[in-house]
Amino acid sequence: MNILLLGYGKMGKIIGEIAESRGHSIAGKINIDNQDDLKQLDPKTIDVAIEFSQPEAAFGNISWALNNDIPIVVGTTGWLDQKPSIEKLALEQNGSFFYASNFSIGVNIFFKVNEFLAKLMNETSGYNPSIEEIHHTAKKDAPSGTAITLAEGVLRNLKSKNSWNLAGETKGSDSSLEITSKRIDPAPGTHIIRYKSDIDDIEISHTAHSRQGFALGAVMVAEWIPTKKGVLSMDDFLSF
C-alpha cells in the first residue's frame, strides 16, 4: 500500500517506520514546513492517508484527502469542534473518514472498562468521579482527546454527571466531571479514572510506555480502511 503521512513529527516518524516494516511504501511526508507539497502529489497514487499533524492543520489536511477520494485515518486531537463538518463532507463525497482519539488496542479496552465501571457506580452513592491525564510538555491540547473520550464514556453511563470541565480553567457544578491535565516530560500518556468517597477510593488507570502502540494501531487501521466507506471509529475496527 502507498501511504501518505500528513504530519511528520514524532508520531508520524514512528508510523512511517512501522508502515515500511510491514511492507508499505510512503507516498509523501507532509508537515508544516512543506504543506504546499500536497499540490504536487498525484492523489491516484495514494491508497490511504494517515493524519497526525497539529490541530490547526487537521481540518485542511482531512478535507484535502476526502475531496481527492483518499481514505483517511486521523489521530490528531484538539480540532473536534470542526469534526461535524468533516463527517458531513465524508458522507457527501462517499468517502472514508476514520477518527480515534487513541489507536492503542489497550486504551480501547480501557474505554470499555471505564464505561462498565460507570454503569456499576449508578448502583451506589457517595462516590465522586474525576479524571486525571498526564502527557509530555509538547502536547498542545488539554485535556487530551483520550481524556475527553473517557469523560464522554462516563457521561453516557453515569446518571449523576452531565458535563465535564477542565480543572483550573472552568468551575464545574456538582453534576460536572472534573478533568485535571498535567504536562510532564517524558510521559507518553497516563489516564486515571478515580471515584473518591469518605470510605475509600476506586481507581482504574492506563499508562503508555511508548508511542509504539498508538502508531501500530494507526497502521493496522490504514490497512483495513480502503474497502470501507463512511464515518468510522475504533468500535467499527475492533467490533466489540
Residues 110 and 193 in one domain: yes
Residues 175 and 231 in one domain: no
Residues 99 and 218 in one domain: yes
pTM here is 0.81
Residues 131 and 180 in one domain: yes
Residues 82 and 126 in one domain: no
Residues 93 and 180 in one domain: no
| Catalytic residue (one of 29, 112, 136, 139) | 139
For the chain, the average pLDDT equals 94
Residues 7 and 64 in one domain: yes
Residue % of the chain over a pLDDT of 90: 83
Residues 124 and 91 in one domain: no
Which CATH number goes with the domain that contains 158? Answer: 3.30.360.10
Residues 36 and 84 in one domain: yes
pLDDT, tens only, 76-109: 988 999 999 999 999 999 999 999 988 999 999 9
Which CATH number goes with the domain that contains 59? Answer: 3.40.50.720
Average pLDDT over residues 224-238: 95
Rounded CA-CA distance 99/119 in Å is 25
Residues 203 and 216 in one domain: no
Average pLDDT over residues 100-120: 94
Residues 155 and 198 in one domain: yes
Is 44 assigned a catalytic role? no
- The confidence score (pLDDT) of residue 74 equals 98
- The confidence score (pLDDT) of residue 172 equals 75
Q: Structural domain of residue 115, as residue ranges?
A: 105-207
Residues 145 and 199 in one domain: yes
Is 29 assigned a catalytic role? no
Winning range, highest mean pLDDT, from 88-97, 143-152, 169-178 = 88-97
pLDDT, tens only, 22-67: 999 999 999 988 988 998 999 999 999 999 999 999 999 999 999 9
Domain count, the chain: 2
pLDDT band of 240, cuts 50, 70, 90: low
| Catalytic residue (one of 29, 83, 119, 135) | 135
